[in-house]
Amino acid sequence: MDFLEAKEIQVGLVVAAVVVVASAAYLYSSKKSKANFYFYSFLWLSVGSIDPENFREFKLVKKTQLSHNVAKFRFALPTPTSVLGLPIGQHISCRGKDSQGEEVIKPYTPTTLDTDVGYFELVIKMYPQGRMSHHFREMREGDYMSVKGPKGRFKYQPGEVRAFGMLAGGSGITPMFQVARAILENPKDKTQVHLIYANVTVDDILLKEEIDGLATNYPGRFHVYYVLNQPPEEWTGGVGFVSKEMIQTHCPAPASDIKVLRCGPPPMNKAMAGNLEALGYSSEMQFQF
């Protein structure tokens, strides 16, 4: 049944694509603007590669070790012009096997966007006892990952808020990075982004080069403040845990046109919810991934 359903979905997508391209060709041949032609052609290219109900297989084409327990995994999409089809701030479910050979499914947020065609990437921190961590640790280039999606409650429209505050801990940076990148790379979106990113040591900071790149490329719109529990000497960022004072200094003040996003380990999420409430941020001003 799964095979038949998958075939029906694929046939439906092909029929829809043919209709879209035919419509685009008609618009172009009838001397409509080239903008219309390219717009409808883009719709064809933007048919997503994932299914919210059924797992699909994606080939690992590159595995880059970033540290002793962090790696970046690049998976190929069906064609060089395919997109993943993941809305901003949502995630995918990945299926693998743990060290006992038992199936495990876990959510992950790609660090790539649909402007990155032909592939998607996951930055994974692999924990010694993590069940899905074992699967990623054992993966080799050429292996396949089972993925379905999109999943998630977060929905974003450009310009819906004046500013985002972001409180991230550890691997909780991935949805924040995805949202920040989507906002900043959209020239029509003027939303400000204020990120506080907490870790234990400097080596635990994921995507630091990419985050610093956003700060360099968008100095008036993106601001990052790193917090470490065990900082090195001559550290200029925050020390300890994220405090109310840090939030007051580095996040937008409570207002109807701002939102603070949270993603980190459960104890951090609980502590941040308490800090935000004490500072006057209503539940409508907060979202936890």
Extract the annotated binding site for FAD.
107-108, 123, 125, 132-133, 174
Question: Which positions make up the binding site?
Answer: 107-108, 123, 125, 132-133, 174
* 91 a catalytic residue: yes
Candidates 40, 109, 112, 156; catalytic one = 109
Candidates 119, 223, 226, 263; catalytic one = 263
Other beta carbons less than 10 A from residue 40's beta carbon: 20
Candidates 40, 94, 108, 119; catalytic one = 108
Candidates 91, 134, 135, 250; catalytic one = 91
* 249 a catalytic residue: no
* 263 a catalytic residue: yes
Task: Indicate which residues carry an active-site annotation.
Answer: 91, 108-109, 263
